[in-house]
Each structure stands twice: as structure tokens, then as C-alpha cells.
Structure 1
Amino acid sequence: MMALSPDQESIVKAPIENSLQVLASAGSGKTRVLTERIRFILENTKKDSVIALTFTNKAAEEMAERLDNVDAIEDRVWVATIHSVAQRILEQYGHTIGLPAELHIYERDKDRMEVFLQSLRDDNVDIDEYLDVSDSRERRNREGVMQKHMDAFAAIKREILNESEVVEKYPNDSRLWKIYQDYQNALLASGGIDYDDILKYAYKILFLHDWVANIYRAKYKHICVDEAQDLNKIQYEFIKALCGESITSILMVGDPNQMIYGFNGSSSEYLCSFFIDDFKPSVYELKENYRSSKAVIHVANKLKPGSQKESDFALQGVVTVKDQANEIDEANWIVNQIKHLLELKTHKEIEGEITLDKMVVIARNRYVFSALKDALNKSEIRFSLKKGERQVEPSSLFCSVLDYAIRVKLNPKDWVDGKKLCSLLKLSSPSEWGNNEILKKWSKDVLISEILFPELQSELLVVIDQLDIDEPNIRKLTKSFIDKLEKFADAPQLENYESELEISILELKEFQKYWTRFKQKGLGDSLQAFRNAMALGQLTEDVINDGLTLSTVHTMKGLEKEIVFLMSMCEGVFPDYRAKTIADINEERNSAFVAITRAKRRLYISYPMQRTMPWGGVKGQVVSRFIKGFPSH
């Protein structure tokens, strides 16, 4: 076992049958404690298995890597996101609550919205006329009304609300429950579910059919939950249903000071209150920050008093707070600091050479990066904007056809993607959906369509139509069409389409990588399992980048850098202008705490005293309440 502090060791070696609550502050080694606890369980039981639940695929991969040297790790530990575990239950036991065998996940917001709008049309609501207004502000308002309904649907699922609870929560929308039911029926009629349905239906299976839960309990006698402060009601109840009365060995690790997903229904109450009441765990606390320097810990404690404790070996570090005249000056100041650090090359408190990949610029939202991007480009400093785990949609015509055709192959009732495919192929949409021969028909119709490379698109549709959905030969498909596209690229008459061909080949190679990654991770064999893994973000790889990272707070959560720049720290940006209630402000404070504690050694905080607004006016700014009283240098 790796060397642990006495506090960490007491958690790792606690009696195996005990429930444990660990309140672990930023930098206190919670991931290490969690993985060592799993290792301890495996080494001290003969056959017991563990489920380790995370919130991101990256966190799951990191934990699995740390446990890589454990014997029979693949048989005894299931490390996955909560949604991935729920999806597996749906795939295997969805039929017990009347769900079809093959369920399509609508992971795109715009696709879910289209299903919602169609459900209104089916209920004789003239929604298209309602949304068709010339005034752009009024149109945005009306689109906002639609989005509020979608947000309400998500809340109903995440909070497990029944009809009377919906009426109570939304007293000014008497038809909401009916509209919600119509939306759910429209989803199922198209052979699909949305992201929130994954947990909703998986919980329903476990709740109604204890025998299904017993199958999992018989194999997995221990459950570990990472980042438990971010649990919402459906996630907590799902875990509780998985445990039942028989599983008492459950470890929940989290930090209430880092709860930043309230907009998803998350609440630290599930870790700090409900878990205590339901499982009566032994309670532990880890406050010693092994990650950050003394200077960083000092300002973190100003923001969240008493949250952090210096380790005996903490370095001094630096925190600098600087105001600037405007956002352009702020961007230039950040760039100059970066150049200065690179010119230093080394520093006694930073291990190895100072390089761009040891730095990150964090902001409350991505919109404030505009001036900084311009300044970085002018100085020829490499950078990338860190994104979440959502799959990037293909941009080439060929790979868009590939994507939509696979969706329709798996689910012929999927009119949402079917209509998009018809639009790409310049074909008329059928009046009814559900025909298993539809791809074959379109492969003939497209030959007389005014589309780029009609013969190639036709051949692609034929190949997809003939795919074995249980064990598709994706490698053969991609290799064959890469060869064909490369031959097209050599044809002199197609020189005007070089960019389209180049992107098609690159995206097809990327698709091939996804399949290879899917197989290597042992996520299944079927085409449906492959699609679901893509929808759940399980196949996206972190871009290996040796440049500077730009990141929002939420995408930086759980990560760290030697040097952190925290920019645009003014009221209305951080805290966000929409944060009105005490709970909202507390969550914004948590976000600021997360941003600050990403820094291992040096933290640079800046804000502009005025900003140019999108409509052209200049507005004075007020320094964020979160950094008032921080030392300025």
C-alpha cells in the first residue's frame, strides 16, 4: 500500500462491513483514499466485488488505472459513471417494465426539443405558428418558454415527482403533467429515451423488481461513490435501491464546499443528511491539502473559512490579485504573465520545466475568453478550450450520413434522425416511420439525387443496411470507405471538393478509433452498445495538448495545474448575474472555491474595471465579492 496519513489510513482500514462518510476537502487525497479502500476490500475478502461510481468517464478511467495492478481487477471491480451502470441495467432488464429491447438515447438537446415540439403538434397545438414570429426578441422569449418546459421535464425525472407534486411545484402551469406525459409517450413512440430517462427507468426497475437488484447485490457487496456532494435525488435513490437492506458496505466521499451542480438538482444534503439517516455511517473528515501551496490555501480559507489545512510539506506559493482597465488590458496582462513564466524556464517550487501544459486559465463561463483568445493568437501562444464529454458531431456530409444511417438502422422509428438523413440526401421524408427496409429504399433513391458523390452515399447506405447489428464489422467498413475516399481525392475533376474529402477521411478514421476504443474497454460487441457508449461520452479521449488550457470551472472540476489564472472576477460574471437566492450565491461561492483550489503552486486572479458589452456600450465593473480582502501584489 502507498504511504497514507494516519487520517487516510483509518478510513482505508475501517471495518469492511461498515458504511463510511468521508468529508474530504480539496487536495486532501480523496481519490487515493477511495482507490486504496477498494484495494483493501479486495485484498481482505476472497471473492467480494466492488462497484465504484463516478460522475465523469475521465474520473472512472483514472480510478481504473490506479487499480490496474490489482489481481482479477476486471472481474472484481466495476468502475463506471452512475449513468453507465444504470444504462447496463436498462439494456438487460428494461423489458421488465415494458421498454423495447433496443432503446435509442437522444443525447442532443435539439433532438429532445424536436420530439417535444412534435408531441405538441400531435396534440393539435399549432406550435410552429407560435414560434414563427419576425421579432427576434419575441422569438427568443417564446423559445425560452419551450426550454423552460424541457427544464421542468428534467426536474420531474431528477426529483422523481408524481402528478400531485408537479401541480404543487408548478402551480401556474396546470397542463404541465399532461404535456410531460405526451413528451414521454412521444419519446417511446420514436423508440427513444432522453438522458434523464436512463436513471429514471433504471431506478424504476430496481424499485419494482427486487429480484433484479438481488442479482447485482449477489455479485457486488461493496459500493463506493466519488464526488457524492453532487448527487441529486434520482441518483441517490438509485444507489439506495441498489443497496437495499443487505448492502451495508458503502463509502461516500465528497466535499460540500465543492457542490456546483445545483442546476442539475444536486444537493450536498444527500451526502450530509440523507446518507447519515439511511445508512448510519461512521464519519471521517480529511482537511489537509496536499495539493496546494500555503498562499493558495490561505485564500481558499478566506473564501471558505476552516475548509483547508496546510500539510507539513506545503510550499509557500504565490497568489496575485490584479485589476485592469478593461478586458483587453486584462487579456494582455495574462499573456505577459505567461510569457514571463515561460522565460523563467524553472522555479524552485515547480517541478521540471515551466511549460504551457502546466498552466490553465479558468473563467466562470466561456464567453469571457474572447479577448484572451485574440491576445494569445497575436502572441502565437498555443491554447485549447477544454470541453466536456459530449460526442462531437461529424461535420462532413459523408460521416453525417454514416452517423444518421446507423441510428436509423438501429431504430427505424427514429424519425428525428431519419428526417435529418433525408434532408442530407435531398430525399422526401416518408409519411410513416418504422420500415426496416427504409435504408435499402433510400440507397436506390439517392442515386438520382442532386447530392455530392451519390454512388458512394448509396453504397454506404447499402453497407449499413446489411450490417450485423450484434457483431458489426466496423473495421472492415471504415477501411473500405477510407480507401474509396482516398481514390476520389486523386481524381482531378474533384479538386473543388478537397476539403470535404479530407474532413470525411479524418472523421472516418476518428470513427474507427472510437470503435477500437469501444472494443478495448470491453463495453460490448453490438452496434447498439457502441451507439450508447458514444451517447454516454465513454469513447471521447482527452486531446493531448502541449499548449495552454482554457477552461470553465465546471469542466476543470477534479483536475489541477501548477499555475492557475482566474480571470474576469467581477460581479455579474462571478458570481453569475442569474444567482439571486442565498442558495444560488452559495453555489457560486463553491464554484470559486473549486477554481482557486485547482492551483498547486501559483494563482493569478484578475478582473477588468470596465467591459464592452455585446451591444457596444461600456459598463463599469465591480470586483467580485468572493475576492474582496484577498492580498494584492
Structure 2
Amino acid sequence: MTFTVKAAEELKQRARAAVADELWRVDADTIHGFALDWLKRYGREIGIGPDVVVLSDDIDRVAVLAEYLRSIGLGDDLGSDDGSGLRRVIEAIDTHRTGHNGQHRACTSDYTHLGVSMQELADAYSAGLQARGAVDFPGMLSSLMELLDEDPWVLEHFRTLYRCILVDEGQDLTLVQSALLRRLAGEGIDLFVVADDRQSIRGYAGGAFTHAQALVPSAAPDPLHLRHNFRCAQVIQRAAEAILRPVGDTRHVALPENTPPGRVRFVPLKSPEAEAYWIAEWTSGLLKTGLDPEVIADGEDPSVVPEDVAIALRTRWILAPIVDALAERGIRCVVQTDTSVFLPEPEARLFVDCLAFGVNANNAPAARRSIEELRDWTGDDLSGDPLQALRSVRNASLESVAELVTRCLLGGADLEQAMEAVAELGKTHDWPRGARTLSDVWRDYRTASTVQSRSPQGFLAHLARTQRTRPTDPGVRLLTIDRAKGLEFKAVALIGVRDGLIPHYRANNPLERNEERRRLYVAMTRAARELVITWPTTTVDRYGRTHEQSPSPFLVEAGLLASVGRTT
């Protein structure tokens, strides 16, 4: 069990190398992925079927809550033009369902004036999900717990299948995740939890190292210690450790013999634009000449490809100047693998969402996205059944999409023939990139499945998993610090490391500030050989006012900036 699909896939690959022909004995998944899989298989006892729809977008979750509020005459009490009021209620419901306070500011007492208790709101929201044949991420875990209570056979079946549960990234377990794993294990299944309290950065979602300790109470007093860092060069690891020293963490991670020296640089820049220029030049230099031989081990390859470089930041809104500066130098970058990046043309996205709706008419998110794409395309105020709307549009490219969806829904040989022709169809109607991606994923799915088992549902599931695990394009990785967790790169640039962002200005108590400190530690230890930390000395707000900025106090407290000038 781990926290990201990418990590689960990597664990599976490592297991393959270790156990070879007995890989069938090993399953690897995220906690939510496992819960969803078992709910699809055995959840009918609690009203969840194999075609359950996952609501991951807040706009779809808010729609469920809004319908209930309107039904009791409260539709206008929490609404706002941007839906933020209802989103705060959703946050409070999530907090209530998962049993943690975390660092959310949404408080259950905020809504007592409505005359509806938080339990009533949570129950109504859950009922709304069930009526739509849907589940959200917090609900996956609580629903599986409910299933284990309602159907003891499911729990017994799990304990018959498995002998050991290994939990990765245990420092970020929430209370409900820990309780679910404890329930699954019982007394007969071994639990092995890998956790690093220095990397606990999800307190806002209820994650805590203490939940990992509670999961294995007999081992907590005398844990096994992983004492060596095999990723980071010497100066990078020591700089990261210095960040934690001011709060009393003086632990010293051992480095293997012959660990390369590495390099850490701290660079203040005049403005965000100057920062973006400097980072782009640094990236370009790495790609052209590689790493300095003095920072790597003897015999190590100094060459750097774009995928070896990451630019990490605390919040995404400071990203735009970096993207522009890289583009000016012809450097490709990958910001994230959401659908608009994975399938860049609207025709490809329409195909996927209309196919998903055709497979399951309860898939409200797919219907909403399809209608929005068609509205943007046609300018018409479309609504209702997205398949009918798609077929009504008189456009050669969209007509080809409609025909493709229709053939795929027939399954069998029609599905095979349609997907074999998708790449050529995309070329003909000017959506080649998305069509090529769909064609590649289809071939992967075809290789991994039997003729009898192939279906539109199976292809869509394989597509969703591919989207979450495989980089969409080559390029420098641009990502938030939280998304960087668990990854590693030859060279990392941390940008915008200034007071107000690290720590974030909303982190106003010692617990939150310490979590911000650990977040910086996590970011620094993503770098294997070279680490650059930058910040702008001035910024301009939306009213045109200039503000002086200081580097993160964490850098100052760690004594890392003694030799750095204030200007560059």
C-alpha cells in the first residue's frame, strides 16, 4: 500500500526484479485504489456496484451537496458565484467523515445556524453520492470499513488471500487509513510500515507519523532504522539536515562510502522575472554541458536530459514566468499529467468522456465535461445527453468522434477495429497527438489483456491508470513540492523560497511551521547531485506596488546563507 499510483507501479517493478516468477503473489496499489477495487468487486451489500463513478473534481461533489440543500430550502444560504461556500462545507464534511481536524479552517460549528447538524449534512451527502452510483476519495475508505462491518466474508476473504501488508510513506497515514489497515490485518497478517517523520507533510489532510506508530504498536518502541541515504550527494544531505536542526532534530544520516560531493547554491534574484531568466539559463546549461565533473562520482555519467531536471515550488501561481522563460529557449517542460495535457485536442477528450458516459449513463462528471467541450466548440447552449449532443453537431471532425464512440460501445471486433484505426483518424481530422496517445494506450491494453476480457470499460480503466503513472511527454519537470515527494532527479531548482511562501503565510502556529520546515527538507532531498535554491528580493503586487522580500527564515536559521549576498 502506498500513496501514489506511480509509487505503486515502481514497487511492483522492484518486486518483479526480486521474486520474478512468483510476482503473482504480490499486489501493489494505493490505499484508495485498493479500496475502490474491493468496493467494485464486493460492494453490492452497501449499494456500490462495479460501475461506480469516482467524483474527484470539487465541481461534481459540490453539485451533489447543492441538490440536497435546495431540497430543504437552503440553496442560497451557502452558495456563492464561485461555489467557494459549498466547497467549505464539503471540506467540513470530509473532516467529519475521516475523523481528523488537520489544519482545515472549516469547522463543523460554522453551519449550526442552518438548523442541520454536520452528521445530517454528511449523511445527506453520502446518500446523494449513492443515488448517483458514485463515490469520492474520502468515501472510498469509510465505505470499505462499512462493507467489512456488513459482510464479514469480505474481511475473511482478504485475510485468506494475503499474509503481509507493507505500507510505504507511512508518516502520512490518516486516522481512517490507519484504522482500515489495522482492521484488515487483524491478528494474523504481518504489518510492515516504512515511515520517515522528517517527511510528514500532510498534516492538513490529517496525516501524522503517530498513526504509523499506532498501526504497529509492538514495533514502535524499537523500530528498524534505515540509516543510509543512497540518493543525495554529501552537501545536499547535510544542507537538508541543517534545515531541521533549529527544532532539535540533530539526527545525522549516514552516507555510503564514495558518495559524491554534489553542489548546493543559494541565489537571490532581483525579481520573479529575473529568477525565471536565471533558472532557464541554468537549465539550458545543464542540458548542453551536463553536470560539473567535480560534483559527481568517478566514472558517473555527467550528461543530463530534460527528465533529469525538476523545478519545484511551493504554490503553482508563481509558475508562469518560468514556463515562459523555458519556452523562449526551446526547452520543453511538463507541468502536470491532467487530461488537457495527456490529450491536448478536444476531439480526443470528447472521445474518452463520451465513451465513459456511453458505458455508464450515471457518470455525471464525464457528461459535464463532454457538454462543456461541445459548448466551447460550437458556442451553443447544449445540455442533456452528451452522446446525442455530439451526434447533432454538423462537423466532420466531431462526426468522426461520434462514429468512433458508437463502434467502440459495440465491443468485440468493432472495438478492436475502431481502436486500430484511431491514429489514422486523428491524422485525417487534425487531432494527431491525442489520437496517437489513445492508440499507444490501446496497444498497451491489448498486450496486457485477453481477447475475451477486452471491453470499453477495461480500456477506460487502463487509460486512467496510464494517465496517472506515465509522463505524458519528455521535458523538464515543473511541479509543486508536494507532488515531488517520492521522486528524485539529478538536478533540482527550488524557486520562490522566500518568507511568506516557505513557510506559507497561513502557517501561523508551531505545528504548521514545523510541517512547512519538513516540506522544505523533502524538496531539498529530491536532488541527487545538484540543488539550486532561489528567491526574488522584490515582488510587485496586482496594484503595481513593489515589496521587498526576504529569503525563507528556515534558510537563515539553518545558517545556510552566511556567504550569500543580498543582490546578484
Q: TM-score range by the shorter chain?
A: 0.7 to 0.9
Q: Which residue of 1 aligns with 2:437?
A: 510
The question of whether the paired residues in 1 share the 8 Å contact of 2:100 and 2:206 is answered with: no
Cα distance in 1 for partners of 2:413, 2:52 equals 18
Cα distance in 1 for partners of 2:465, 2:287 equals 38
The question of whether the paired residues in 2 share the 8 Å contact of 1:386 and 1:555 is answered with: no
| CA shift digits 1:600-632 (9 cap, x unpaired) | 222222211111223432111122111111043
Correspondence 1:170 to 2:108: yes
Q: Which residue of 2 aligns with 1:55?
A: 3
Cα distance in 1 for partners of 2:97, 2:441 equals 30
Q: Which residue of 2 aligns with 1:48?
A: none
Gaps of 5+ in 1: 1-52, 132-138, 162-167, 431-437, 490-500
- The farther-off stretch of 256-265 and 280-289 is 280-289
The structural deviation recorded for 1:255 is 0.5
Correspondence 1:410 to 2:359: yes
Match of 1:255 among 174, 180, 196: 196
Cα distance in 2 for partners of 1:416, 1:450 equals 24
| CA shift digits 1:325-377 (9 cap, x unpaired) | 22222233333444555565451433223324333222112222323333333
The question of whether the paired residues in 1 share the 8 Å contact of 2:40 and 2:48 is answered with: no
Trace 1:608-619 onto structure 2 (pairs within 5 A).
608-619=536-547
Correspondence 1:214 to 2:156: yes
Q: Which residue of 2 aligns with 1:347?
A: 293
Q: Which residue of 2 aligns with 1:328?
A: 273
The question of whether the paired residues in 1 share the 8 Å contact of 2:55 and 2:134 is answered with: yes
Q: Which residue of 1 aligns with 2:471?
A: 542
Q: Which residue of 2 aligns with 1:398?
A: 347
Structure 1 residue matching 2:310: 3-state secondary structure: strand
Cα distance in 1 for partners of 2:370, 2:193 equals 45
Q: Which residue of 2 aligns with 1:17?
A: none
Correspondence 1:586 to 2:514: yes
Q: Which residue of 1 aligns with 2:500?
A: 572
Cα distance in 1 for partners of 2:74, 2:47 equals 29
Correspondence 1:185 to 2:127: yes
Match of 1:226 among 144, 168, 191: 168
The question of whether the paired residues in 1 share the 8 Å contact of 2:47 and 2:130 is answered with: no
How many aligned positions are there? 536
The question of whether the paired residues in 2 share the 8 Å contact of 1:117 and 1:127 is answered with: no
Cα distance in 2 for partners of 1:551, 1:517 equals 27
The structural deviation recorded for 1:202 is 1.7
| CA shift digits 1:555-582 (9 cap, x unpaired) | 2111222222222111111111221222
Cα distance in 2 for partners of 1:155, 1:180 equals 10
Q: Which residue of 2 aligns with 1:31?
A: none
Structure 2 residue matching 1:171: 3-state secondary structure: helix
Q: Which residue of 2 aligns with 1:67?
A: 15
What residue identity is the alignment partner of 2:270? A
Q: Which residue of 2 aligns with 1:605?
A: 533
Cα distance in 2 for partners of 1:399, 1:388 equals 15
Q: Which residue of 2 aligns with 1:125?
A: 74
Match of 1:363 among 297, 302, 313: 313
Q: Which residue of 1 aligns with 2:205?
A: 264
**1:157/1:538 CA distance change after superposition, 3 Å:** farther
Q: Which residue of 2 aligns with 1:15?
A: none
TM (norm. structure 2) is 0.84
Q: Which residue of 2 aligns with 1:20?
A: none
Correspondence 1:151 to 2:85: no
Cα distance in 2 for partners of 1:212, 1:254 equals 28
Give the percent of matched residue pairs that are identical in Structure 1 and Structure 2: 24
The two structures, once aligned, show a CA RMSD in angstroms of 3.3
Q: Which residue of 2 aligns with 1:296?
A: 236
The structural deviation recorded for 1:284 is 1.2
The structural deviation recorded for 1:154 is 2.3
What residue identity is the alignment partner of 2:560? F
**1:414/1:224 CA distance change after superposition, 3 Å:** closer
| CA shift digits 1:427-483 (9 cap, x unpaired) | 8656xxxxxxx78xx65x86655556575455345435x534xx6864322234555
**1:577/1:474 CA distance change after superposition, 3 Å:** farther
What residue identity is the alignment partner of 1:352? D
**1:336/1:508 CA distance change after superposition, 3 Å:** closer
The question of whether the paired residues in 2 share the 8 Å contact of 1:387 and 1:555 is answered with: no
The question of whether the paired residues in 1 share the 8 Å contact of 2:98 and 2:176 is answered with: yes
Structure 1 residue matching 2:27: 3-state secondary structure: strand
Cα distance in 2 for partners of 1:324, 1:575 equals 19
Structure 1 residue matching 2:110: 3-state secondary structure: coil
| CA shift digits 1:156-181 (9 cap, x unpaired) | 333289xxxxxx96123222332332
Cα distance in 2 for partners of 1:110, 1:392 equals 20
The question of whether the paired residues in 1 share the 8 Å contact of 2:295 and 2:530 is answered with: no
Structure 2 residue matching 1:289: 3-state secondary structure: coil
